[in-house]
Amino acid sequence: MTRLNRLDRMILRLTTQRDLLRWAVSLAAGLPGPVLEFGLGKGRTYDFLRDLCGDREIFAFDREIHCPADCLPGADHLFLGEFGDGLPAAVARLGPVAALAHFDVGSEDRAADARLVAWLGPAATALLRPGALVVTDRAMTVDGWQRLDPPEAGDGDHHVYRVAMFDYRTAT
């Protein structure tokens, strides 16, 4: 396979992210509930989701603030701290209501990313309603999540999942 230089890789990554967010938001159109943004970062995808999602609330998670002021959610929509702390706080406050979650958590350290998503995906399930959409930049294996085939091939790192419609946590 042809090696992509770093600029082209980044362009492919961001294009895939934008395309899949757009697609997943369209799939979630009939579902009520807020959007969750794991990895506020510089606020680029948060800003994009704001444009896409209209009136939907968006809750963002990050350990630090390094976005421009115009992309900073209000304090009541920001879980500032480690995901491991923000996520249980969000579960206690919101419960399983979200229609869509976006995980933008990948780094250059693939092994660390794999360790992170191994617990983050299953833990985030407690915030997602049945049928919710998940867009992630690292593959996640979570009981009850079905991987969807996106319309375009993309970068190979981004995936879209749909949470099962039934509540598999209580199914026997």
Ligand X SMILES: C[S@@+](CC[C@H](N)C(=O)[O-])C[C@H]1O[C@@H](n2cnc3c(N)ncnc32)[C@H](O)[C@@H]1O
Q: Which residues bind ligand X (CB under 6 A)?
A: 39, 41-45, 62-64, 82-83, 104-105
Nearer to ligand X, 112 or 165 (CB): 112
Rank residues 104 and 155 by Cβ distance to ligand X and give the closer one: 104
Buried b (16+ CB within 10 A) or exposed e, 34-59: bbbbbbbbebbbbebbbebbeebebb
Smaller CB distance to ligand X: residue 64 or 149? 64
DSSP β-bridge partners for residue 61: 38, 79
Q: Whose Cβ is closer to ligand X: residue 120's or residue 142's?
A: 120
CB of 69 to ligand X, least distance (A): 14
- From CA 118, how far away is CA 91, in angstroms rounded? 18
Q: CB within 8 A of 13, min separation 6: which ones?
A: 137, 155, 157, 158
Q: Which is nearer to ligand X, 107 or 146 (CB)?
A: 107
Residue 130 C-beta: closest distance to ligand X, Å: 26
**Least distance to ligand X, CB of residue 160, Å:** 16
H helices present in the chain, as ranges: 6-27, 44-53, 83-94, 110-124
Closest approach of Cβ 42 to ligand X, in Å? 4
Separation in Å, CA 115 to CA 86, 96, 102, 107, 120: 18, 24, 18, 12, 9
